[in-house]
A and B are shown apart, each in its own frame.
Chain A
Amino acid sequence: MHRRVRAACEVTRDFLRSERGAALIALTKSIALLAVLSELGWLMNVHYFSRVFPQLPISVAWSMLTMIFLIAAAQLSGSVAMKLWGIRQARLRASLTMRMTSLLCSYLAGDAADRDIEAAAREAPSAFEAAVADALLRLRGSSIQRLRELPVVEALRDRWTRRLRSAGDEQRRILVERLSLLRDVAAIPALERSLEDPSAQVVAAAVRGLLRMPSYAGRDDLLRSLPGRGYLVRVLTASESPRRRERVQPLDPARAHCAVLARRGVRGIDRLRSLSAQGKAGEAPAEALSASLVASARGGR
């Protein structure tokens, strides 16, 4: 019995996720909305207009007219208010994001701005989130690593991971893209879960994110699974496999250089990290260099 209920639930869930299910949900919502509005109109008729106009068609017509007038007025005022509020919010967000960005810049430049950032993040969490998302798009290599080390960014990563379970399609895609840009090993389980997402764009973002993780072990399996996925996922990830190969090639000279450094007796993760940062910060190969340096250092210990 229990199994049958579970199977029925799964069938229902699949149907609701399908195109027809979505259409049915939208139709149900619109009918419900119209029903609520009609009920309000009818109540208006019963409690007011039917007393003023004894003939039913006339009183119903009056209540309809009143409802329509109220809805249209609400639409107009709501639309203008929404627009004005949107403009104000955009201005406010822009100034806050600018402040956050300057704080993040000074932190990345080496200043001890951790506490200021924490305070600002507490004060305006959404602006902080926007600033981090923006920074992730612009930063490369060791700068992302430094950003990741901020406790507030770690908390943000956890929040993004949690939100992945409840957000809508577009929001989930944005969250997966942000988690991918973080290149944090801790985000791998969330990205792996997103590979089973019903939205193809979310899956594609997760695939891209995982393939860009320097320490992701399941890369080959993931690449092998791509041809079996939907067409949109294949289109969105088709350029990934050759790019992986291109990226791997410059690693060899870097690894060779690391081996030389290791032989010379250069030791210690911090020393190697600083070498990496000095070397090619802001360039994609810097990550490769950094990873191989760390690997060599570990091997040398």
Chain B
Amino acid sequence: MSPYVDIYVHRVYFFFESGIIFYVFVINLIYLVLVSLGAFALRKHHAPFSEADRDAIRRSPLTPSISLIVPSYNEEVSVRDSVGCMLRLDYPNYEVIVVNDGSKDRTLEFLIDEFKLFRSARSVAGPITTKPVRRVYESTEPVRLLVIDKTNGGKADSINAGINAARCDLVMVVDSDSLIERDGLFEMVKPFLEDPDRTIAVGGTVRAVNDCDVRSGVVREIRTSKSMLANFQSVEYLRAFFGGRVGFSLFNCMLIISGAFGLFRRDRAIEVGGFDHSSIGEDMELVVRMHHFYCDRKQPYRIAYVAAPVCWTEVPQDWKILHRQRKRWQRGTVDSLWRHREMLMNPRYGIVGLIAFPYFLLFEMFGPLVESLGYALTVLGLAFHIISTGVAILFFTVSIAFGILLSTSAVLLDELTPCRFPNWKHTFMLFAAAILENFGFRQVLTVWRAEGLWEAVRGKKTTWGVMVRRGFSPTANRA
């Protein structure tokens, strides 16, 4: 190779490599700001109602009513436990609407048997267009349970059918494999009570329930899982919720409310057209659309996050399922950002357009691509002796160390919440997971997310995510 070409290659290489180092530094700085924001703001998010307040809410005629919408598709393993848990929630005025989206297993039969359902004449027609509803069931027992059996149309379509059928002021979307804490609705409803005119949506915290002690649909003891993969995801969830969402929520620019646990004002959800069934990440898409819609109309609104209510969900313990899930999430992010690209750097959308949207685009959407490129360039640099092994190892270690710091900070933030692990052994285990996840797990996720980005660019079709359920109780049927 001629010396000129050699110099040119070196220059190009260092241009890209220093760009990536700068990118990694900026992204970690932003994450650190978000985590420390979480540390300062989390206490406010965890100021629960006192028993006297709850008692007053229970007896108050002004307490808003809630319809819990549970879309389910092939959920025979966990649906009875989770619906049973939802019917035992401590809240004065709520109903549960399970939407069976044409399940191919015995989800509907199990529900009919367990809750003594009978065919109801209740009308479930509403303003949002959905796939046809086959039958509607209600329980003979004194519980406010409605089961809608409809033709398969996807998760968003099921939620829309639930929104149509709902009779309450607020609608909560809950995954059928999730368990809500018994008093979780009190805290979820708090932002609506504090600011009823502006608040249109509220998200809560989602945590991994794998191997926790669950009895009668209630999490009795919080434990780490025996599976390290589940523990890695536990740490990831803590980082996402306590690090990211607390910070974004402070500035009213949160772009995601988890599809597993979100509360919306029914009239506002209908006003924006409900969940989009053509979207892959319907939860994120709805929230971004709400920002888009209300900023366009210059209507004041607030999308909040509260850390106190926890929804427990089973996270995948199988690499294949996790792979599919992460690809789907990444495609959802890309899809939502692409549909609302008009908001990017547009001052009309305020902090959402100028900060949240570019952050999601640069770091959440293209992040995996840049990170993968960084790994590839380092390997190439080493192979062609452009950089020394010592320097490569040092910068790789610094980027890993930043990851460790963020994860351990998230675990520490968890210690500030009332929902922390009661036993120090489990805390120690979680710290170990926070360190170990940076050696392999995060890199694998990066590659999968890059794959998801590629699939989104190619325009792959939407389907329900398949998840092998283990059930909550030790006696639950194994799928």
Give A residues with C-beta under 8 Å from B: 19, 22-23, 25-27, 29-31, 33-34, 58, 61-62, 64-65, 68-69, 71-72, 75-76, 78-80, 82-84, 87, 169-170, 173-174, 177, 200-201, 204-205, 208, 230-232, 234-240
Contact = CB atoms under 8 A, between A and B. Distances in A.
Contacts, number: 123
Interface in B397-441: 397-398, 401-402, 404-405, 408-409, 411-412, 415, 424, 427-428, 431, 435
A61 B49 contact: no
Given A169-B47, A230-B194, 16 more contacts: A23-B251, A30-B39, A65-B394, A68-B404, A75-B411, A79-B411, A169-B44, A173-B50, A177-B52, A201-B50, A205-B53, A208-B56, A231-B194, A234-B62, A238-B61, A240-B56
A73 to B, nearest CB: 9
27 contacts: A22-B44, A26-B37, A26-B250, A27-B37, A30-B33, A30-B36, A34-B36, A62-B394, A64-B401, A65-B401, A68-B398, A68-B402, A68-B405, A76-B408, A79-B411, A79-B415, A80-B428, A83-B427, A87-B424, A170-B47, A173-B50, A204-B53, A231-B194, A232-B190, A235-B60, A238-B59, A238-B61
B412 A208 contact: no
B395 A30 contact: no
B41 interface: yes
Nearest to A169: B47
B427 A239 contact: no
Contacts of A33: 36
B197 to A, nearest CB: 8
B431 A79 contact: yes
Contact of A80 (B41, B59, B405, B424): B424
B412 A58 contact: no
Contact of A72 (B63, B190, B405): B405
A78 to B, nearest CB: 7
Nearest to B252: A19
B26 interface: no
Contacts of B59: 238-239
B9 interface: no
A26 B56 contact: no
Nearest to B402: A68
10 closest A-B pairs by beta carbon, nearest first, are A30-B36, A239-B59, A23-B250, A238-B60, A68-B401, A232-B193, A26-B40, A83-B424, A236-B56, A235-B62
B391 interface: yes
Contacts of B401: 64-65, 68-69, 72
A78 B57 CA distance: 38
Contact of B408 (A30, A75, A230, A240): A75
B415 to A, nearest CB: 5
B40 A31 contact: no
